[in-house]
Amino acid sequence: MRRIPSILGDPGWTVCLVGEEQSGKLAQVTAGLRHGPDPSGSGKRITSGFSYWGLESTVAWAHACNDLYYPVMRESIGSFSRRWRAMTQTLPDGPLHYVSLGPGTGQKDQALLRYLDSRGRSGCYIPVDVSAEMLRLAQREALEHLHVPPADVLPVQLDFSMPANLDRLCTLIRHAVGDEPVVYSLLGNTLANFDNDTQLLALLAEKLLRPQDRFLLEVASTAGQDEAAARAAAHEYENSPRFREFVTSALMQYTDLQIDMNSLTCEGLVEDDRALKIKVVYRNRTGGPLELTLPDRSTVPFPDQDTIRLLLSRKYTPAGLEKMLVDARVTKVGETHDVGHAAFDRPAFGLALLMLQSADAAPEPAPRVPGPNPFRD
């Protein structure tokens, strides 16, 4: 290990810590595809993270992010630098370490690291992702033209949605940074891809956040919450050919299914009063039963009209977002809301960037003293 820093002088090398058994992950993918038939999109599924697992998916994701027909992600990346600047007042003082959970293409990480670097406050950069290919891509993009020493970059391949993994990640981060403050980030509406999003946020806050740390969360937001808004949200995803390639890339990788892009549908639903839920599903529209061969060579029946959920996403209402933060025991210390592209006759969707800290770290609000009353005093 002592000899590695000299090797890292060559930018072609990347050191990556693998935090869990990858064969176990493959078993997880196949388990998700073994669920029974369900035409509503709640049966077979490719769970979050595995959509990006593998080189093919990584490349497809990078293409989707630059697709002119998929402006949401492009605008999210383009405006991130401006939105992040509005948030910098809420950062703790001194050098900051940055842990990026699901770094994506690395462009947002670069905006954040560039800010820290320009102020001489950069510490360690620890991108964490389930996909090694994604990590390599993100790291290269994030560190371009920056002066972060190779020894301060520590990519970790790990599924951060599992409690045991978080414990181990927490230990690693504590060893690397000591008591110095850390900024964690979960950007690009990644949180919405999980079935139990609130539980995941609560888990991350509980396991990772100390009083001196901050958590940067980016989620998609919606002003309206009716059937029309849900349909419009689904259309956003449907319009992009690159996005369709991306969501089906995992299916191509883990099954022998002959992909028909016309069998891909995006369904918008209203999820209580908290969010619009978007399911991207692949439906068997061949008119007859099919059989899927999985990576372990076993076969699974795929009857007519049965579905495989390829992606889950949400757009949160302001009330739903507030409730999720309360339930996850985190408090806001800063926020920006960006209303994205929206025609006058369509619902306004946007992006919310929130700077959070652990609710336990927030000082108790002072008891409210009523102000002077001119008709009483």
> Which chain residues interact with other proteins by CB under 8 A?
368, 370-376
Which residue number, 206 or 335, has a Cβ lying nearer to other proteins?
335
* Token pair belonging to 140: 């290269």
- The Cα 68–Cα 356 span in angstroms is 32
Closer of 175 and 376 to other proteins (Cβ)? 376
Q: Which is nearer to other proteins, 344 or 375 (CB)?
A: 375
Q: CB under 8 Å to 22, separation ≥6 — which residues?
A: none
Residue 374 CB, nearest approach to other proteins (Å):
4
How many residues are present in the chain? 377
In 10 A of CB 67, how many CB atoms? 19
For residue 310, what are its two tokens? Answer: 């390829």
Closest listed residue to residue 319, CA positions, set 222, 180, 217, 253: 222
- 3-state SS, residue 258: coil
Provide CB contacts within 8 A for 363, sequence distance 6+.
none
Q: Which is nearer to other proteins, 258 or 373 (CB)?
A: 373
Nearer to other proteins (CB atom), residue 262 or residue 373: 373
- Fill in the amino acid letter for 190: T
Which is nearer to other proteins, 297 or 376 (by Cβ)? 376
Partnered with residue 351 across adjacent β-strands are 220, 338
Residue carrying the six token digits 């790291």: 139
The per-residue b/e assignment along 313-329, b for 16 or more CB within 10 angstroms, e otherwise, is bbbbbeebbebbbeebe
CA distance 228 to 224: 9
Task: Give the shortest CB-377-to-other proteins separation in angstroms.
Answer: 9
- Closest distance to other proteins from the beta carbon of 313 (Å): 35
CB of 369 to other proteins, least distance (A): 11
Min separation Cβ 365 and other proteins, Å: 13
Amino acid, res. 112: L
In the complex with other proteins, which residue's Cβ is closer, 145 or 376? 376
Nearest approach, Cβ of 163 to other proteins (angstroms)? 40
- Give 12 or 370: the residue with its C-beta nearer to other proteins: 370
Cα 296 from chain centre: 28
Q: How far is the CB of 368 from other proteins (least distance, A)?
A: 8
Give the shortest CB-221-to-other proteins separation in angstroms. 23
Dist CA 204 CA 351 (whole Å): 21
Q: Which two tokens stand for residue 351?
A: 């992006």
